[in-house]
Amino acid sequence: MSMVSHEPFQLVGRYTDRNRWENLNGPGDSRVTGTQIIEEAALEGAWSDKVVLITGASAGIGIKTIEAITSTGATVFGTARNIDKASNALGHLLESDRDRIHLLHMDQVDLTTVRACADAVREKSRGKLNIIINNATTNYLSHFLLFYLLKDLLLKSSLLSFHSRVVTVTSAAHRYGPCRLHNINFDNGEYNGWMAYASSKVANIYMTNQIERLYGAQGLHAYTLHPGAFISPNLQKFSKAETEALSQGDDRLKKYMMSQDQACATTIYGTVSGELEGQGRLYLEGASKSGPCPAGSDAVEYGSASWSQDNTKEEELWERARSGPTSSE
């Protein structure tokens, strides 16, 4: 594939040009970082009235995301399976901002801990919550349950000047295949790791779309995002061979790679950008709004898959989650 951008370009927003293929040059190039977005929006110390919940606070871009959000002055709740690991990773912030940064235990493969974490957020935030950032590299149900348990706080905390937001990290790998609601657990010998991963990432997009459909008119909006390609301590340790094979000898992917500071930028954009105010049901990447992926594109081209927009499947998955494993009834 060439290093020439499609026209019209898939991305829209103030940072679009930095993401054109002609301008990419690997980690540390001109693409924006999360901290730069905060600075350019003049938000340093400006969010003392906001409360933000971020999952996956102990490693990877979760740390970079918390660093950037903390600079706004917001009260931040970060979740982790291992509180000691998160405390060590965020020690520099906890020393200076202990009153505004709170670590909460949550293991997102154990839904009882998701419920306990939601209860803790409700109590410690005194009933206020402006933003949930689903950053943890888990799949669907725990994201859904966390939102569902706290949606009343998001709705209550929404302001005319700043609507509440749910920002969920997904992956460009959602383009590898659709969400298989007919066999969601890949039973009967049909399991394929990448197809299962893609299915769960599409499910995250479905959740975002349904949140917007149900609550957008009430001042609660939702976005999904692909952070970009970066060296992560999480996914790559479970798929090292596959990721090395993808990048070996691929100059296009090497230029597409970015630093963790840059990889958190789209999360920060989804969290704070005024370009998104009052909008939802959006797929973000490159700290920009992203459109459909052109036909015949490779795995690192910008854009979302056609199957990521499906009202019927979005509603079906929502109802399955609401009445299934996450149900409190």
The pLDDT score that the predictor gives to residue 299 is 86
Read off the pLDDT of residues 198-240 as tens digits, 9 standing for 90 and up.
Answer: 999 999 999 999 999 999 999 999 999 999 998 876 555 545 5
Report the number of secondary-structure helices (H) and strands (E) in the chain.
13, 9
Is pLDDT at 71 greater than 90 in this prediction?
yes
Strand ranges of the sheet holding 11-12, from the earlier edge strand across to the other edge? 11-12, 288-290, 282-285, 220-225, 164-169, 131-134, 51-54, 75-80, 101-105
Q: Establish how many alpha carbons lie within 13 A of residue 47's alpha carbon, considering only the half-sphere containing its beta carbon.
A: 26
The pLDDT score that the predictor gives to residue 239 is 53
Mean pLDDT of 288-314: 95
- Per DSSP, 106 falls in state -
250 pLDDT band, cuts 50/70/90, is confident
- What domains sit in the chain, N to C, each tagged with a CATH number? 11-320 (3.40.50.720)
C-alpha closest to that of 205 among 115, 118, 130, 285: 285
The pLDDT score that the predictor gives to residue 9 is 96
Is pLDDT at 59 greater than 50 in this prediction?
yes
Read off the pLDDT of residues 107-145 as tens digits, 9 standing for 90 and up.
Answer: 999 999 999 999 999 999 999 999 999 999 888 999 999
247 pLDDT band, cuts 50/70/90, is low
Mean pLDDT of 24-53: 98
CA 58, CA 86: separation in Å to the nearest integer? Answer: 4
The pLDDT score that the predictor gives to residue 329 is 44
163 pLDDT band, cuts 50/70/90, is very high
243 pLDDT band, cuts 50/70/90, is low
Read off the pLDDT of residues 173-189 as tens digits, 9 standing for 90 and up.
Answer: 999 999 999 988 888 88
The pLDDT score that the predictor gives to residue 303 is 97
Over the chain, what is the mean pLDDT? 92
Q: Which residue has the tokens 């409700």?
A: 122
Is pLDDT at 17 greater than 70 in this prediction?
yes
Are 216 and 240 a contacting pair, CB within 8 Å?
Answer: no
Is pLDDT at 327 greater than 80 in this prediction?
no
Instruction: Note the pTM of the prediction, 2 decimals.
Output: 0.94
Is pLDDT at 101 greater than 90 in this prediction?
yes
